[in-house]
Amino acid sequence: MIRFYRNLVIFSTLCVLSCAAYGDDKTTVVSSMAVQQAAAESWRERRLAFGKEVYQQACASCHDEGVDGAPAIGDRDAWSERSTLWLAVLFEHSKAGYLDMPAKGAQLDLTDQAVDAASEYMLSVTFPEKPLD
Query: Looking at residue 46, which CATH number applies to its domain?
Result: 1.10.760.10
Query: What total number of domains does the chain contain?
Result: 1
Mean pLDDT, 10 residues at a time, the chain of 133 residues? 53 51 48 65 89 95 91 90 74 91 93 94 89 67
Give the side-chain half-sphere CA count within 13 A for 86: 12
Q: Is residue 133 part of a domain?
A: no
What is residue 97's predicted lDDT score, i.e. its pLDDT? 93
What is residue 51's predicted lDDT score, i.e. its pLDDT? 95
Q: Is residue 105 part of a domain?
A: yes
Q: Is residue 131 part of a domain?
A: no
Give the integer Cα–Cα distance in Å for 32 and 128. 28
Question: What domain range includes position 6?
Answer: 2-126
What is residue 22's predicted lDDT score, i.e. its pLDDT? 47
What is residue 131's predicted lDDT score, i.e. its pLDDT? 73
